[in-house]
Amino acid sequence: MSGPTALVAEDEPLLRDTLIRQLSAAWPALTVVAEARNGRQAVELFERHRPDICFLDVHMPGMSGVEAAQAIGRRAHLVFVTAFDQYAVEAFAQGALDYLVKPVEAARLADTVARLQERLRAAQPAVMPDDLLARLAAQLRPAINAAPRLTWLRASVGSVVRLIAVEDVDFLLAGDKYTHVGWRGEGGSAQEAIIRTPIKELAEQLDPDRFAQVHRSAIVNLRSISHVVRGENETATIHLKTRADTIPVSRAWLHLFRQM
């Protein structure tokens, strides 16, 4: 691949797709070789594809965009993408780091593209003020950790796409390619659906006061539990209040129910 390449990391799929379309219009020669849903995946995909440029959303679950930038280092040109955050914008501006504010305006993106093209033509090294990024990561972490939790799931039920309130979810079970969702519909009726988001990614976005991972492939709504029955070899089975489904508890998570 002879042209410039890029990675785009953004946890919101619609915003990620929008930025990629904007980049395609502003810089047709640029090839987006990887799309990441969080900071950890961004680092993994960077190591696999080694793009010239990384567009990193600042506020992502798990590892933030700034923390991902620290891991990538000077091996790529970095552009941070942030929602309006007065502190973050001021910090990025003072540190001469390249950044875009959501929603990304075409004119602002064009300026960023022009700067990146000039740096690539001149073979300039990537800007990477390590001390500034370390301070930003530490100072932004509380705000990132306090980001709103996941409140809705978009699930396929046959040919229908349904919005499911997270508070109505009883459990999530990992499948080969999908996550199986057990939830309560109108009148408390037991419903089931599938979503494409991996259970590992969902676990990072759910309220830990309401949901608990109880098995490598299972998350349960604590308010949906009727009782827990201990099994052999340090395992247990969760029984739910309003449905016959049971949820396995593996040894690694049995400590959650030690008090029973």
Write the pLDDT tens digit of every residue in 132-171: 777 777 766 655 555 567 888 988 777 778 889 899 999 9
Q: Are residues 108 and 164 in the same domain?
A: no
In tens, the pLDDT along 168-213 reads 999 999 987 789 999 998 888 898 988 988 887 888 788 777 888 8
Distance CA 120, CA 136 (A): 26
Number of structural domains the chain divides into: 2
Q: Are residues 165 and 36 in the same domain?
A: no
Q: Are residues 25 and 66 in the same domain?
A: yes
CATH of the domain at 110: 3.40.50.2300
Tell me which of 145, 167, 182 is where a domain ends. Answer: 145
Distance CA 116, CA 127 (A): 11
Tell me which of 94, 125, 145 is where a domain ends. Answer: 145
Q: Which of 222, 51, 44, 71 is nearest to 133 (CA)?
A: 71
Distance CA 199, CA 189 (A): 23
How would residue 25 be classed by pLDDT, with cut points 50, 70 and 90?
very high
Residue 90: give the domain boundaries: 5-145
Identify the sign of the CA torsion 85, 145, 197, 31: positive
Distance CA 75, CA 116 (A): 14
Distance CA 79, CA 27 (A): 15
Q: Are residues 190 and 120 in the same domain?
A: no
Q: Are strands 246-249 and 211-215 parallel, antiparallel or unpaired?
A: unpaired
Enter the pTM of the model: 0.54
